[in-house]
Structure 1
Amino acid sequence: MTSTASAGSAGISPRSAAQRRVLTVLVGSQILSGAGLAAGITVGALLAQDMLGSTDLAGLPSALFTAGSALAAVAVGRVSQARGRRPGLAAGYLTGAVGSAGVIAAAVVDNPVLLFLALFVYGAGTATNLQARYAGADLAAPAHRARAVSTVLVATTLGGVVGPNLAAPMGDLAGTLGIPELAGPFLLSGAAYALAAAVLVVWLRPDPLLLARSLDLRRRAEADPGKTAVEPEPARGPGLMPGALTMILTQLVMVAIMTMTPVHMHDHGHGTAASGLVIAIHVGAMYLPSPLTGWLVDRYGPTVVAVASGLTLLAAGVAAAVAPADSVALLAFALALLGLGWNLGLVSGTAMITDAVPLATRAKTQGLVDVSIAIAGATGGISSGLVVSAAGYPALALTGGVLALAVLPAIAVSASSPHGR
């Protein structure tokens, strides 16, 4: 706190000085965690398919680590609420690293039960990667919150693009260590998550949420110094439910189509390198547009951007459905649209949530919202394999695109609220 105090005495806002440091540290940790997240996505379904000898449950790994992320979202939110962002986020990344080690062990002993349990634990990294976006907004001025969220999200791009493209080299490394090649990317995941936790523990000071609360209490006390006690913050605003619904639907559609794309490509003769490239493009599209998305949300409001999300996801589903199975380029284009639609929905939904929830309960509420998002992802993951097995990948993609339009009624609700602008 002394550093922020001295910054204030020098004429620099304590909030803005601390915000710059917080964003710098979060960017570093997100680059690392992005590699851990994307590497596991690339081969999780393939590893399960190899162990089980069937595509029926190939969507189960995605469902499990998104279900695990639901539990982790609650835990990270509650720890952050009680003790601050630093311990909450660091604990989440360390749990993800433990899950990565468990996946490697399961592959070595060829135990599907251990694999599924480890993937559930691995999901903590996914939840924490998403929860970090809220930390970027804690100290941001209201007119720049979406851009602060976007800065954290776009940092995931570097690791997210590099991670899948290291799938083949990490597989080769795993082979030399006596580990099944498909488990190789989880070597990268474990190391990346552990390093992300270390960055936060050492450098995320001051804690953004704790400092935001302190500054807010001081501001309200100075605004009315005659009061012996500061009035509690107002109740949550009307943007909570529309924001949550927007992110839930975009997550459901994105996970369902993304999960089965590597399996679809594998079944049509494409290797790990090709599917890794497509997933890398997809992950890049999930995060790289974030600065522009943040500016659009701050400039035009989350309502307009959320509508764009639903329409973009529809286009992605149609493109994936009509893309020839032998065309890596067209599948990559469809997955890029899928990532962009998810980004538009996540940034606009996050802005609605952050604007609607007071600081006193913000971290806990954000964690609960992310539970719903994770459950939606789990639903999309586990159902995707069943749909593909019964009707094929094009049917899954088209159904997902149409389902994305269900975001529009949620946006209609928010349009009349102050947060819909």
Structure 2
Amino acid sequence: MPRRGLSLAVLIVNQLLAGLGVASGIAVAAILMERLTGTAFLAGLAQTCAVLGAGIAAIPLARLAVARGRHVALAIGYASAAIGAGLVLGAAATGLVPLAFLGLAAFGAGTAAGLQARFAATEIAAPGFEARAMSLVLWATTIGSVAGPNLSEAGDAAGQALGLPPVAGAFLFSGAAFACSTLLVATLLRLPRAGTLAVDRMPQTESTPDAASSATPPEGAEPTDGGASASASTGTGAGGERIGAWRALRIASRNPRALLALVAIVCSHCVMVGVMVMTPVHMHEHGLSLGLVGLVVSIHILGMYGASPIMGWLADRRGAVAVIAGGGVILFVATAIGVLAPADDLLLIPLALGLLGLGWSAGLIGGSALLTESVDEELRVPLQGASDASMNFAAAFAAAVSGVLLGIGGFAAVNVAAMLVLIPLAIAWARVVAGSDRHAAAA
């Protein structure tokens, strides 16, 4: 077994570097693409390309984690992001626009690896502390995400000193941060077999009641035909073959708790991205300064990551299902404020974006914790990869649709659509609660 304290510290420092790498590049990606292409439309595809790259990389990285270990998968993800930053720099120097889009897609692998790191934290946590370990790793992203954009000017100066076009130099810091992340996880990080929690390594007689219950079929789950229920429990097919990501999704859909976890992760991310990406545009169109826009975005990022340790503590102490419910309520309140608040209201708009980040934090941490505890270890990693791919693809779709909705019905329409995304979350949550009530009544 690796030393828990050292491994968690490496993950935290690594996540700080990864957050710095992502934020440094994404902060100027759209501006750089507009300079290269001369059109705002293609510039808007910069973030979409990075998000799609994260979605595409999620499942291969999960497979690599199973085959070679988490540290290898994380190192490959961060190395891909470093190479992507280099490709973007090459595109800026040569003017090759396709090379820039390819680089941004590879850059998205860093985001995919950062998301996978939260699951790695659960695998080295002591029993009953899985969500808190995950939340600490996510919290470290706050420092990098806030520091990254503030290094844009220094990166620009360094880039121009090397003969790069304006703005492109920020990707120097991104590439350096991801290169450091790659070396850190490849040399110092050692983790248990991917998907294995501490409770799985304990003798059966010593396992905790919660650990034992997580390995049994969840409340409300119904048996299926032909050995499918056994597959849902063990994570292997009827013939013992390894389960891929998409088959893992189909198996999990028959498990109400696992399904709630997936819906919570995807819906929370979809709502957050759909509203967040259009908020700066909405504010700028109504004459607010870039300084105020940056302040609101900073409040939003603080809501996303700053309170994550609290969400992890609540998930461990009160249960992931309760945290998911709280996250759904917070997201609903945030979008309701977005519908009603004037664009120039300097109290309600920051409040809405702060709550949006807080609701996302609850949904992601609660959903990830529930996903980890609701299935056995053979199913965890492919399901984690599928959930990360799904949340990124949903975010890319939400970002594209939100732009159309903003043009048709304004910021209120964007928030109303976000409210509708919460309906599947409410249904999945009600199904789990109803199953728990039936189980309690039968007992």
- TM-score with structure 1 length normalisation? 0.83
Instruction: Please state how far the C-alpha of 1:109 moved relative to its aligned partner.
Output: 3.9
CA contact (8 A) 2:234 2:377 kept: no
The SS at the match of 2:277 is: helix
Match of 1:303 in 2: 321
Query: Post-superposition shift, 1:55?
Result: 5.0
Looking at structure 1, the residues matched to 95 and 403 of structure 2 have their Cα atoms a distance apart, in angstroms, of 21
Per the TM alignment, residue 79 of structure 1 is displaced from its structure 2 partner at its CA by 0.6
Asked if residue 259 in structure 1 is aligned to residue 277 in structure 2, the reply is: yes
Measured after TM superposition, the shift of residue 68 of structure 1 is 1.0
Is residue 19 of structure 2 the alignment partner of residue 34 of structure 1? yes
2:86 — aligned with what? Answer: 101
Counterparts of 1:194-273 in structure 2, within 5 Å, are 194-205=179-190, 207-209=191-193, 212=196, 216=200, 219=203, 234-235=233-234, 238-267=256-285
Residue 245 of structure 2: aligned partner? none
Q: How many angstroms apart in 1 are the aligned matches of 2:150 and 2:393?
A: 28
What displacement does 1:74 show?
A: 0.7
Instruction: Tell me the residue number matched to 1:228.
Output: none
Q: Give the deviation of 1:191 after TM superposition.
A: 1.6
Alignment match of 1:143 (pick from 128, 133, 137): 128
Q: Residues 85 and 418 of structure 1: is their aligned pair in 2 closer, same or farther, counting only changes over 3 Å?
A: farther
Give the match for residue 280 of structure 1.
298
Q: Residue type matched to 1:194 in 2?
A: A
Match of 1:89 in 2: 74
Letter of the aligned partner of 1:340 in structure 2? Answer: L
Counterpart of 2:192, as a letter, is P
Question: Match for 1:403 among 414, 421, 427?
Answer: 421
For residue 184 of structure 2, what is the amino acid of its counterpart? Answer: V
1:191–1:117 distance in 2 versus 1, CA, 3 Å: same
Distance 1:128 1:59, change over 3 A: same
Q: Percent identity?
A: 38
Q: Which residue of 1 aligns with 2:177?
A: 192
After superposing the two structures, state which structure 1 stretch, 53-62 or 113-122, moved more.
Answer: 53-62
Q: Distance in 1 between matches of 2:262 and 2:293?
A: 31
Pair 1:330–1:222, CA change in 2 (3 A): closer
Q: Which of 125, 131, 134 does residue 119 from structure 2 map onto?
A: 134
CA drift of 1:132 comes to 0.3
Cα deviation, residue 263, structure 1: 3.8
Letter in 2 for 1:309: G
Partner in structure 2 of residue 376 of structure 1: 394
More displaced, 351-360 or 85-94?
A: 351-360
Corresponding residue of 1:338: 356
- The one-letter code of the counterpart of 2:177 is A
Paired amino acid for 1:409: I
Of 392-401 and 372-381, the range deviating more from structure 2: 392-401
Once the two structures are superposed, residues 90-145 of structure 1 have per-residue CA deviations (whole angstroms, 9 ceiling, x without a partner) of: 11011111122222333344444333222221111111111100000013244221
Q: Which structure 2 residues correspond to residues 307-318 of structure 1 after superposition, within 5 A?
A: 307-318=325-336
Question: What is the CA RMSD across the aligned residues, in angstroms?
Answer: 3.3
Q: 2: distance between equivalents of 1:363 and 1:343? A: 21
| Residue of structure 1 equivalent to 2:216 | none
2:99 pairs with one of 114, 121, 131: 114
* Residue in 2 that maps onto 1:12: none
2:384 equivalent in structure 1: 366
Q: Deviations over 1:146-174 (max 9, x none)?
A: 11111111111111111122234433444
Unpaired segments of 5 or more residues in structure 1? 5-17, 224-230
Quick check: 1:19–1:208 contact (8 Å CA) kept in 2? no
CA distance in 1, matches of 2:186, 2:53: 23
2:81–2:106 CA contact under 8 A, matched in 1: yes
Q: Aligned-pair distance for 1:203? A: 1.1
Change (3 A) 1:352 1:210: closer
The 2-side partners of 1:121 and 1:388 are apart by 29
The match for 1:226 is none
Contact 1:167 1:276 in 2 (8 A): no
- Give the aligned partner of residue 392 of structure 1: 410
Q: How many residues align?
A: 398
Shift in Å, 1:355: 0.4
Q: Provide closer, same or farther for how the CA distance between residues 394 and 183 of structure 1 changes in structure 2, counting only shifts above 3 A.
A: farther
Question: Cα gap change, 1:238/1:138 in structure 2, threshold over 3 Å: closer, same or farther?
Answer: farther
- What letter is aligned with 1:188? F
- 1:80 aligns to 2:98 (yes or no): no
- Ranked by relative contact order (alpha carbons within 8 Å, sequence separation 6 or more), the top structure is 1
**Contact kept? 2:341, 2:348, Cα under 8 Å:** yes
Partner AA of 1:40 in structure 2 = G
C-alpha change, 1:221 and 1:98, in structure 2 (3 Å) is farther
